């Protein structure tokens, strides 16, 4: 075999091997595409089944979604209704709150006014309490004055009774004396008798006594001596006060007498002094003790 023939044989063998490789590749490739197609068809069928399943599920979900949308719409309507109701309730509550605030402000103002009035009443009560205390003190003073006046009235009534009795006795004595004097041919003219007896009738006996009850003004008093001691109406006695600071008070004139007591009026007070219970009276001024 020649060299060219060898080369040709080698070339033929190369192409044969190449063709065999190509044939193998093509065969292998063709087999793989068939299996692949079968696999793809199987997968496609599975996918179609899955799609069908998912489509059914999607339809179910769509129905559920529609139902949910309807339910949600109903709930939304209900919520809107509730919102409107709550809004109306809120407005009503705000109106009520405004009314309550107004009432609270009014009540606060009324309470403030009531408090101010109560404070004013308390002040008035304090003033009234003070006035009441003053009135009670004044009433007590009036009671004391009333008691003193009652005592004075009692003394004056007793003095009046004594004076009336004395007046009756004096009238009888005067009538008897007048008849006696007329029987003796003597005058019964009081002026003439006073002129005859001037300087003797008003001279009191040498007696000494004490001032008892004294009126509120300190100008009229009851003495512890009377007609049994020689006192008579018109007698004048000296009044003096003994003690650590003896002092002259003045003169007292006898207005009414009883056997054991007399009533007199201060006629010549010294330096405006007043009678006091316990003062001494005498026909003459006593030395200081």
Are both 17 and 120 inside the same structural domain? yes
Last residue of a domain, one of 113, 137, 161: 137
Last residue of a domain, one of 79, 102, 137: 137
The whole-number pLDDT of residue 244 equals: 76
Q: What is the pLDDT of residues 210-241, one digit of tens each?
A: 999 999 999 999 999 999 999 999 999 999 98
Last residue of a domain, one of 137, 172, 194: 137
Are both 38 and 123 inside the same structural domain? yes
Q: What is the pLDDT of residues 169-179, one digit of tens each?
A: 777 876 777 67
Higher pLDDT, 189 or 156: 156
Give the count of domains, the chain: 2
* pLDDT higher than 60, residue 21: yes
Are both 9 and 125 inside the same structural domain? yes
* pLDDT higher than 80, residue 75: yes
Are both 15 and 120 inside the same structural domain? yes
Instruction: Supply the DSSP string of the chain, one letter for each residue.
Output: --HHHHHHHHHHHHHHHHHHHHHHHHHHHHHHHHHHHHHHHHHHHHHHHHHHHHHHHHHHHHHHHHHHHHHHHHHHHHHHHHHHHHHHHHHHHHHHHHHHHHHHHHHHHHHHHHHHHHHHHHHHHHHHHHHHHHHHHHHHHHHHHHHHHHHHHHHHHHHHHHHHHHHHHHHHHHHHHHHHHHHTT----HHHHHHHSTTTTT---S-EEEEEEE-TTSSEEEES--GGGT--TT-EEEEEE-STT-EEEEEEEEEEE-SS-EEEEE-S-GGG----TT-EEESSPPPP-
33: containing domain? 1-137
- Indicate whether 223 belongs to any domain: yes
Q: Give me the CATH number covering residue 270.
A: 2.40.10.340
Confidence of residue 246 (pLDDT cuts 50, 70, 90): confident
What number is the average pLDDT over the span 249-263?
Answer: 94
Higher pLDDT, 46 or 115: 115
Q: What is the pLDDT of residues 35-48, one digit of tens each?
A: 767 777 788 788 77
Q: What is the pLDDT of residues 258-282, one digit of tens each?
A: 999 999 999 989 899 999 999 999 9
Q: Which of 27-41, 97-111, 112-126, 247-261 has the lowest mean pLDDT?
A: 27-41
């Amino acid at each position: 075999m020649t060299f060219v023939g060898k080369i040709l044989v080698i070339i033929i063998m190369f192409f044969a091997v190449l063709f065999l490789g190509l044939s193998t590749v093509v065969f292998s490739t063709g087999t793989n595409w068939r299996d692949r197609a079968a696999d793809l068809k199987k997968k496609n069928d599975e996918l179609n089944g899955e799609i069908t399943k998912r489509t059914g599920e999607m339809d179910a979900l769509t129905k559920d979604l529609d139902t949910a949308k309807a339910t949600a719409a109903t709930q939304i309507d209900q919520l809107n209704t509730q919102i409107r109701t709550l809004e109306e309730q809120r407005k009503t509550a705000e109106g009520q709150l405004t009314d309550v605030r107004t009432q609270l402000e009014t009540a606060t103002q009324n309470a403030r006014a009531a408090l101010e009035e109560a404070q004013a009443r308390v002040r008035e009560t304090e003033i009234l309490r003070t006035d009441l205390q003053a009135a009670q003190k004044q009433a007590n003073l009036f009671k004391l004055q009333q008691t003193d006046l009652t005592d004075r009235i009692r003394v004056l009534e007793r003095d009046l009774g004594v004076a009336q009795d004395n007046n009756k006795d004096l009238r009888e004595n005067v009538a008897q004396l007048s008849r006696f004097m007329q029987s003796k041919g003597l005058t019964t003219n009081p002026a003439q008798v006073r002129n005859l007896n001037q300087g003797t009738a008003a001279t009191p006996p040498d007696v000494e006594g004490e001032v008892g009850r004294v009126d509120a003004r300190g100008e009229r008093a009851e003495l512890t001596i009377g007609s049994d001691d020689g006192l008579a109406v018109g007698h004048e006695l000296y009044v003096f006060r003994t003690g650590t600071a003896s002092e002259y008070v003045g003169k007292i004139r006898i207005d009414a007498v009883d056997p054991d007591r007399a009533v007199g009026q201060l006629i010549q007070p010294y330096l405006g002094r007043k009678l006091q219970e316990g003062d001494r009276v005498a026909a003459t001024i006593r030395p200081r003790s």
